Structure 1
Amino acid sequence: MNASPKPPALTTSRAAAVWSLIGLVLLTLNLRAAITGISPVLGELRDAFGLSGVGVSVLTTLPVLSLGLFASLAPVLARRLGTEVAIAGALVLITAGILLRVVPYAPALYAGTVLAGAGIAMGNVLTPAVIKRAFPRRVGSLTGVAMMLMAVSGAVAAGLAVPLDHAGGWRLALAVWAVPSLVAALVWGPLAIRGRRAAAEPTSRPDARGGTGRADGSLLRSPLAWCVTAFMGLASLMFYVLMSWLPEIMRDAGHAPATAGMMVSIMMFVGIPLGYLVPVLAARLRDQRVVVAGIGAVMAVGLGGLLVAPSAGWVWAVTLGIGIGSAFPLAYTLLSLRSPGPSVAARLSGMAQTGGYLLAGFGPLAAGVLHSATGGWDVSLGLLLALLVPEIAFGLLAARPTYIRLGPAPLVEAKEIVVPEPARAR
């Protein structure tokens, strides 16, 4: 008899990888639309629900605060239920939250926003763990794809909100995004079942670093974990402050309202390709400190130019788009690169995004208060410039070629960083 290879097992493995990739794509496509699609129809929501100025402010702040408040729950649920089950549940939460927001009752609008934010927070946190577990040799490229898809879906949701509102009202503009989240939840259903079956098996499979990637010990004792958290938090703060207030800064500098709005769009658009390119580059490098230094230099030029020569608004919008469009993808990639296994990646992601989004949520408020107190934007922009110093410092520490070790020594030299296959010699 001729002994043959085992094509069924190979086919099953390939099919599982393809299904996981489809699930990853659908997950990341649903991690921005429910947030960015609500701002363009705030006027209609104000009229429909009779919201006050404070009510509108709360509605715009809730998504970011929810991202921070619920991020820490994701690793706990992933450990107890399994990562796939937690992600499927997150997508169900997003779908339920989107649908709840169309109920003609103001508390339902706020509750739905919180539910959707909770689901998005869990998906944000667990995405690096999925990539680390299912595609350990594609961390850079697939993190880049994830970041790019998040940016594209957010931009599409914001761009389609007003046309959908004109076509069928604000309910259609909000409810339409329940369709892709429901499809994603259905795709993750089989993955959740497979994950539960795998968890029931007594074997322990080593990860791509040669260990099990166990998450024993506290991340709070790891200086590296705190550096990654601080870098992500300050990068997120820069993003949300500029996204919230750049139109006002440009209008106060003499630019037309339509032009000021277009500058923000350009700033966001510049970041889309960088969302892919920066993670790929970072994963190919053994040491990412040169990328951190480059981002810091670009941000310093953009913020400094905005402070001393705001009339050249288009130049600074593009420059800042390069800076913030690179900083957050790099921070997101470090969640995987600094983790020895998927479980640590999930916990580090939860820690970093909890602190990062809570800090980012208060950034726009602080900038607005300073503007009201001083009558201008110089102090707010000066504060952002000052915050670049700790952002770069923490970024340089987080970008060192080390792994988190939840044991006696918090850091371990990363001597064998896995490089994505496109970078390997064929």
Structure 2
Amino acid sequence: MKIKDIKIFVSNPGRNFVTVKIITDNGVYGLGDATLNGRELAVVAYLEEHIIPCLIGKDPHQIEDIWQYLYKGCYWRRGPITMTAISGIDMALWDIKGKVANLPVYQLLGGKSREKIKVYGHANGQNIDETLDNLGHLVDEGYKAVRLQCAIPGLDGTYGTLDGKKDYYELQSNRPLPPEQLWDTSEYLNFIPQLFQKAREKYGMDIELLHDVHSRLTPIEAARLGKTLEPYNLLFLEDCVTAENQSGYQQVRQHTTTPLAVGEIFNTIWDAKELLENQWIDYIRTAVTHAGGITAMRRIADFAAIYHVRTAPHGPPDISPIGHAAHAHLNSWTPNFGIQEFIGFGGAPLNEVFKHPLVFENGHLLINDKPGLGVDFDEKAAKKYSYKKSYLPISRLRDGTLWNW
């Protein structure tokens, strides 16, 4: 069996998605997700100009060799564009292998470590009352773990709330440049503990709560926040500090027992090496779409397990159902799986383009036994939803200094 053709589809059934379809000479095909939010077309160009010509005629079963070929063979290793492109190819190859073997991908990885996949949802709001009302709705739906994000008084468009807008396209309002949002660390640090205090007062300690800082604090500021939140027993505090300097998490770890999670923008295991081997974090949040696909995620999970770190893959709405299905297969297998971020199954356009094997039930995802990843992609439907250029926002301090969004 040989790779006969590779097609790339860019569609927007609610969000922009880059879908990879690898077609073999015997008619079996595999699907992969190569979406990089805000830089989608850069990945498309990388795939079309630099990867596809190199793979035609190769044996799709040689997943490991192809992964090494794309990673080591380009010399300019790592980075979000390269690794997202590799991720899309890798997922599609695993999908093919599963279809040929007539087995779901999790069986190819070694079988299930669990029968269901614990997930957490998002409760956002423009104020504390709205956030807690949304938390209540998720609890009623069966969620056992929920991330809380709330607009900070005096700041428009706090991360996770979109300033009352429904999506990033509306937030951008047809402007040619990224939208800008104001940030004030002092106001944030003074406000967020109030949110979790009132959440615990209203819902008690049974529901697991999480919070995403989105890398906006220095290590000592993050340490202060973690210490302040200790009475509210968070499942984890996410992205409290930028991780380019991994030792920043050492400082946070020394000052708080609040569990720490990071990794959604990591591209390789090297981004997390010091964090894992020094046990500075508790959850690694690398995503199958951005960290090299299933092949690389399996290595990261095994390395993390040595240091008592659990996986908690990134699961935003800009990962397509193909990527979410790949996470589900990995999560089913991963012995040290912790929890999966889950934002629901999307609206009618998304479910028209992608048919997936996942079911939500009582705070968990269930996956069926369809061969491969179990996802179908409707090319004709995808053509109805054209790519729509959009940027993620940027943040500035009150004096105009550019800050981490």
Place the TM-score, normalised by the shorter chain, in its bin.
under 0.3
Q: TM-score, normalised by structure 2?
A: 0.24
* Rg (Cα) greater in structure: 1
Q: TM-score, normalised by structure 1?
A: 0.23
Larger helix percent:
1
